[in-house]
Chains A and B, each alone.
Chain A
């Protein structure tokens, strides 16, 4: 065993990680009355950028205009501060385990270019879907399930169901 290379992929026991994540969700609801989120920060960023480019355009757009208030930056938002923490927390964990470094992770069977094209495509679809469903795996599915939200359960089933259904078409990228 060349332990140095293998150690990078030694992760927590998934039940332990899940248990701690569950406790964190309880704590989040106990403190703030709401759950966790992730895609919200990307929406705030998009609204901020578009607002910088053309304030008039954000006000005229039926969707952007929901998130701009006079004299308030869309970045002054709970989820934005939470995400700053996520970046720091993941960096800390990655540092302790020696996983930091600029690289493109992909199956040896595909090229870097192919991996990046599919990453971009996947991101576009996830971004679109998360806006339609009003939340992603964190905000809609996981935090929804914690309070037995019907929509949360439906979103969770739709995400994983469709991923399993379409997995066949993307198999070359992963196995």
Chain B
């Protein structure tokens, strides 16, 4: 039956109301988890705070396991969900540039919006930076176009790429995450505390 709006169970006007409500919950959860603090976010990269790892991977696991069960029970049709397309070089190079931006600025776009909302001026500056970055990309689109479009593999999933069933992939990712959670607690005990 799901997804509801694309299948016409709810009229399009609801889409906007639902967008605001989903955003409200998204912002509340991120802020309450401490993601409006750049010093907490950056803690992941220096081993003094692993909130990013724990929140991010718990969310990924809950959502992928939940969606799979809902698909199995017939509540949602997984084939109708939007799968972020794979452009190999764009994903690698774009991701690598974002990583440098993350550790230099201490935010990602979603967390910077939360920090903007509670008055962090460094986040305001960060958002201005993002917009400058978008202008640079757009104005020199010709330069980036080959990276942007190279090796387009379509809307593929790990099931297509690895040729193993989804259940095994989800189980492996879950195991990896549990190991990462365990290691992060060990590391945190050994690293010098940073107060912020």
Contacts and interface: CB of A to CB of B under 8 A. Distances in A.
A3 to B, nearest CB: 15
A120 B126 contact: yes
A18 B54 contact: yes
B106 to A, nearest CB: 7
A163 B45 contact: yes
A133 B74 CA distance: 32
Interface residues of A, number: 120
A17 B56 CA distance: 9
Contacts of B171: none
Contact of A90 (B59, B118, B128): B118
Max chain A CB contacts within 10 Å: which of B21, B91, B128?
A: B91
A124 B71 CA distance: 39
Given A120-B128, A124-B101, A124-B132, A104 B121 contact: yes
Interface in B91-144: 91-110, 112-123, 125-139, 141-142, 144
Contacts of B118: 90-91, 94, 99-101
A22 B95 contact: no
Interface string A134-164: 1111111111111111111111111111111
Main secondary structure of the interface of B (DSSP, over half): helix
Interface residues on B, range: 35 or more
Given A29-B67, A132-B97, A174-B42, A125 B87 contact: no
A34 B126 CA distance: 27
Given A84-B20, A105-B120, A133 B108 contact: no
Given A86-B113, A123-B130, A158-B99, A103 B121 contact: yes
A154 B91 contact: yes
A46 to B, nearest CB: 5
B129 A32 contact: no
A154 B92 contact: yes
B110 A86 contact: yes
A95 B105 CA distance: 24
B94 to A, nearest CB: 3
